[in-house]
Amino acid sequence: ESIRQSNSHLKHKRVLISAGGTRERIDSVRYITNDSSGKMGYALAKAAAYAGATVTLVSTIHNLPVPLGVELVTVQSALEMQQAIESRFDQLDVVIMAAAVSDYRPAQSLAYKIKKNSKDDLTELKLVKNPDILAGLGQKKQHQFLVGFAAETSNLEKYALTKLADKHVDMIVANDVSQANIGFNSDDNAVTVLTNTQKSIRLAQAAKPLIAQKLIELISQHI
């Protein structure tokens, strides 16, 4: 363990990792979310802490054990997650956006439970676009190393490269979410890592903690 820490460029670096799918409230008992389990984010937090980093986990998940020494900040919506990350951004060295941020939220969310036979018509739900948290960080970044994930069901490398450029990030971890055994809500993952400076690196299917350890090593080599 000590060898691992002393070899890592992440030692004493401040790393923020987002995890889980955001919850976008319709009313006090209903929300929109997605299949993200948070497992990849939690595995990354554990691996980064093990490498000696000071780790903050901004998470929508309540049912996973928080890795030792990791600060947990719980949020629900994309807007809450954005606020939690942006308020800490100046003090950070690395941000890893492993969260599945909902692209949309209900145009209004009601503070009570909607009754089915009332004027609150839920047969049509109006949505508005959420801000792109990662792209916002890409606009603002100074010294920070930014890592995004790309969940794709087709044209994996092409779309991931577009996200790398458009969001001004340093690394994209591309995830094929069309396969049931990897990615969203499964214990394994298989990813392709893209940066501006190196040719793409394929990490073959493995348990998420192992993939996380390799990703943290790659990030450490880049900072």
Q: Which residue in 12, 17, 2, 14 sits closest to 215, CA to CA?
A: 17
Q: Does 163 bind ligand CTP (CB under 6 A)?
A: yes
Site map 96..135 versus ligand CTP, x via CB under 6 A: -x-x-x-x--------------------------x-xxx-
Rounded to a whole number of angstroms, the minimum distance from the CB of residue 49 to ligand CTP is 20
Site map 39..78 versus ligand CTP, x via CB under 6 A: ---------------------------------------x
Counts of helices then strands in the chain (DSSP H, E): 6, 12
Q: Which of 34, 155, 181, 189 is catalytic?
A: 34
Q: Which residue has the tokens 């909902």?
A: 102
170 binds, among Ca ion, ligand CTP, none (CB under 5 to 8 A by kind): none
The residues near 118 (Cβ < 8 Å, ≥ 6 apart) are none
List C-alpha distances in Å: 206 to 75, 146, 203, 220. 29, 24, 8, 20
Considering only residues 178 through 217, tell me which ones interact with ligand CTP, judged by CB under 6 A.
none
Residues in contact with Ca ion by the rule CB under 5 A: 103
132 is in an annotated binding site: yes
CA atoms in the 13 A half-sphere facing the CB of 87: 9
* Residues recognised as catalytic: 34
